[in-house]
Amino acid sequence: MSLDTDRAAEAFAASTDWTVGLEEEFAILDPDTLDLVPRFEELRDVAAATDPALSHSIAGELISSEIEIRSGRGEDVHDAQARQRDFRRRLFDLAARRGLVLGSTGTHPWADYREQPNIDTEHYRRVVEGLQYVARRNNTFSLHVHVGVQGAERAIAVCDRLRPVLPTLLAISANSPYLDARDSGLHSARTQSFTKSFPRCGIPDAFGDWQTYAQYIDFLTRTRSIVEYTQVWWSVRPHFSFGTVEVRIADAQGTATESDALAQLVVASVAQAARDEDEGRPRVDLPGRVLEENLWRAIRYGMDGPLIDFATMAEQPAAAALAGLLTWTAPMRSELGIEPALPALNGAQRQRRAIASGAPIEEVYAASVQDTRHTYAQEVPAS
């Protein structure tokens, strides 16, 4: 992947506002034990031989027991989600025919990361060689949303404006209470495991303009800190190849309805940030140390605890933060025809309530896998 920042700026100049690409990561599971099983290569090869459209959509991630599906470029969020729903059904059907099921939580509850083989690609060999334990420890699953934003300067402004919104999006998406066969006590153990470990990760600094961001990438390149721009793992970043703003803060979602709603809310947030920039609305670039307080609250308590209202610098219920996010994005949601159907309780809240009732880890995860199967794979018959 080229680190040519001038070429990246050209990609943003040629980009189209509000095009959307979706990326969803799933755990590959044994249907009887719900353990992770390293069979990505098998699914990839069968798809290549039997379903070229699906083959083009799926990709490997760090471990061989994980598979990602990508919508490709949709003209808007509705087009991207229609494409993604088709690929989901194809993937879940393929997995079922191969005697597998797929899970969709931010972490696998009990899998031992030391037992997970990495896929053999140049990119991931480089990641593991460079990061060692940090990479091997990262057995996590996420939802990424790409939104087209025309103009490199505008893309950086959007990333800057989204910084205070990211913890709220994480709280809404939280879906990983377990890690290493233990109740972590958190709502997003994925974020603690991944975001708090990887370099160049989490909520980025405010860069202010494209030149400053390009100088940062050039600095990382000159000092041999990175060799490809995707080694900048910020929770929001400009994507050099696609001319998109990529939001990467969310846990994988247990149901298709939640994944669709969250993606719509991300698209609306990106579009509203761009509209605010276009209309010259003032922006306050809060320091990272302030934003970190909400990031931690989202990790620890998700939607069950208070977040900080940065306008008043006082606590507010997470539900009020969500209401504020919906109010802020209302103009662009109306323009784009977006009305996200968020559930009363998100994935972490449902699991936490089951944990509080005394349900064992296997039962809690089995219920999530069942929800995933019935919503992402509507065509797959019950076994």
Q: Which tens digits make up the pLDDT trace of 91-117?
A: 999 999 999 999 999 999 999 999 999
User: So what's the pLDDT on residue 382?
Assistant: 40
Percentage of the residues of the chain whose pLDDT score is greater than 90: 90
Expressed in angstroms, the distance from the first to the final Cα of the chain is 43
Cβ-based neighbours of 307, under 8 Å, separated by 6 or more: 167, 168, 171, 294, 297, 298, 315, 316, 317, 318, 321
Contact call for residues 380 and 373 (beta carbons, < 8 A): yes
Average pLDDT over residues 262-266: 98
CATH architecture entry for 5-376: 2-Layer Sandwich (3.30)
| pLDDT, tens digit, 9 for 90 and up, residues 189-229 | 999 999 989 999 999 999 999 999 999 999 999 999 998 88
One-letter identity of residue 232: V
Backbone φ and ψ for 182, nearest 5 degrees, come out as -130, 150
User: So what's the pLDDT on residue 168?
Assistant: 98
Question: What confidence category does residue 2 fall into, taking pLDDT thresholds of 50, 70 and 90?
Answer: very low
Cβ-based neighbours of 61, under 8 Å, separated by 6 or more: 25, 67, 68, 119, 124
Note the pTM of the prediction, 2 decimals: 0.95
Judged against a pLDDT cut of 80, whether residue 380 lies above it is answered with no
Computed over every residue of the chain, the mean pLDDT equals: 95
User: So what's the pLDDT on residue 163?
Assistant: 98
Question: What confidence category does residue 377 fall into, taking pLDDT thresholds of 50, 70 and 90?
Answer: confident
Average pLDDT over residues 145-156: 98
User: So what's the pLDDT on residue 230?
Assistant: 87
| pLDDT, tens digit, 9 for 90 and up, residues 288-340 | 999 999 999 999 999 999 999 999 999 999 999 999 999 999 999 999 999 99
Q: Which residues pair with 202 in a beta bridge?
A: 234
Q: Which long-range contacts (CB under 8 A, 24 or more apart) does 301-308 make?
A: 301/171, 301/187, 302/171, 302/174, 302/187, 302/188, 302/346, 302/348, 302/349, 303/171, 303/172, 303/174, 303/187, 303/345, 303/346, 303/348, 303/349, 304/187, 304/349, 304/352, 307/167, 307/168, 307/171
Q: Domain residue spans in the chain?
A: 5-376
Question: What confidence category does residue 346 fall into, taking pLDDT thresholds of 50, 70 and 90?
Answer: very high
| pLDDT, tens digit, 9 for 90 and up, residues 4-42 | 788 999 999 999 999 999 999 999 999 999 999 999 999
Query: Alpha helices of 175-255 — where are they, by DSSP H?
Result: 189-194, 210-222
Judged against a pLDDT cut of 70, whether residue 345 lies above it is answered with yes
User: So what's the pLDDT on residue 3?
Assistant: 65
- CA gap 245, 158 in Å, rounded: 8
User: So what's the pLDDT on residue 120?
Assistant: 83
Average pLDDT over residues 240-267: 97
Place of tokens 């939104």: 147
**DSSP-derived secondary structure for 299-343:** HHHGGGSEEEETTTTEEEEHHHHHHHHHHHHHHHHHHHT------
User: So what's the pLDDT on residue 278?
Assistant: 98
